[in-house]
């Protein structure tokens, strides 16, 4: 599935929720089934900076697609990471680089986009894009 289709799917899922509590509960659920990073990759060089809780991100190129795995000490951060991984994992570096991010606003998580927020969401998106740039060169 292309990135745009995945994003639309996610926006549709979230639109079923009436309030923040349902949205957060869903995100917490998503976090529980995230593609978990291998414990051996929970190293400092995989830590996303700017997070109040530890957030690890690992990237690997399989054939022509980038596979991301992540984990976090905080459940909500894990949930947000799970949403991002659904959008960006198993996509080509080129598609990741060109991807737009309006879906975050549409699912009611715009507040997490502020750079002052201590959950590293912006940093994680930046890191995903950096990986895509790096793997695209090769």
Q: Active-site residue numbers?
A: 51
DSSP per-residue letters across the chain: --HHHHHHHHHHHHHT--SHHHHHHHHHHHHHTS-BPPGGG--GGGBPTTBSS-EEEEEEEETTEEEEEEEESSHHHHHHHHHHHHHHTTB-HHHHHH---HHHHHTT-GGGGSTTSTB-HHHHHHHHHHHHHHHHH-
Told to check if 28 binds other proteins by CB under 8 A, we report: yes
Residue number, 29 or 38, with CB nearest to other proteins = 29
Least separation in angstroms between residue 15's CB and other proteins is: 19
**Sole binder of other proteins in the list 118, 130, 133, 134 (CB under 8 A):** 118
Told to check if 46 binds other proteins by CB under 8 A, we report: no
Q: What mask, x for binding other proteins by CB under 8 A, covers residues 72 to 111? A: -xxxxx----------------------------------
Q: Which residues bind other proteins (CB under 8 A)?
A: 20-21, 24-25, 28, 52-54, 73-77, 118-119
């Amino acid at each position: 599935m292309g990135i745009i289709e995945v994003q639309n799917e996610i926006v549709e899922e979230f639109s079923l929720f009436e309030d923040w509590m349902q949205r957060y509960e869903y995100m917490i659920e998503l976090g529980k089934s995230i593609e978990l990073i291998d414990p051996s990759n929970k190293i400092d060089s995989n830590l996303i900076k700017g997070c109040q809780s530890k957030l690890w991100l690992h990237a690997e190129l399989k054939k022509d697609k980038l596979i991301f795995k992540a984990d976090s000490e905080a459940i909500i951060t894990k949930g947000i990471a799970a949403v991002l991984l659904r959008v960006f994992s198993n996509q080509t570096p080129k598609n990741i680089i060109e991807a737009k991010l309006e879906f975050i606003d549409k699912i009611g998580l715009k507040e997490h986009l502020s750079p002052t927020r201590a959950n590293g969401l912006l940093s994680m998106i930046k890191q995903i894009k950096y990986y895509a740039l790096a793997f695209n060169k090769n």
